[in-house]
Amino acid sequence: MQKKSSLKPSIVPLGDRVLVKPFTEEELRRTAEKKSKLNLILPDSMTKEKSAQGRVVRVRVGMIVDGKRIPPPVKPGEVVVFSRYSYDEVELSGEEYYLIKEENILAVIR
């Protein structure tokens, strides 16, 4: 008899992909209000379309190229800007996430 796992399902990105939790419209508005703190100016169109910013949730352990492990360029918790429409949407437990190729992450906001 097999025991049922008590682990919650999770998404583990493969290859050169990064799992990102996109900001909601409300979070984008709050970020715009704090623009002086983050030095960001968000156009109105940005809050009306799908988010192109989010927080990194999970990354791969590093790809191996020519026998060497290449560390991922971002870490969990970092806020990133990525190319619009360059991601795959995934849903887990009612939450929306994006799987994004590393090459489509444009910047880290610090």
pLDDT for residue 76: 95
Question: pLDDT tens, 82-103?
Answer: 998 889 999 999 999 999 999 8
Taking the C-alpha atoms of residue 98 and residue 77, their distance in angstroms, rounded to an integer, is 15
Q: What's the pLDDT at 47? A: 45
With residue 22 as reference, give the H or E element that holds it: strand 17-22
Confidence at residue 64, expressed as pLDDT on a 0 to 100 scale:
80
What is the C-alpha to C-alpha distance for residues 8 and 1, in angstroms, rounded to an integer?
21
Q: Tell me the domains of the chain and their CATH numbers.
A: 18-109 (2.30.33.40)
pLDDT for 65: 84
At 86, list the tokens.
């360059």
pTM for the full model?
0.74
Q: Is 18 in contact with 76 (CB distance < 8 Å)?
A: no
pLDDT (tens digit per residue) in 16-74: 899 999 998 888 777 666 654 555 555 555 445 667 899 999 998 877 889 888 888 89
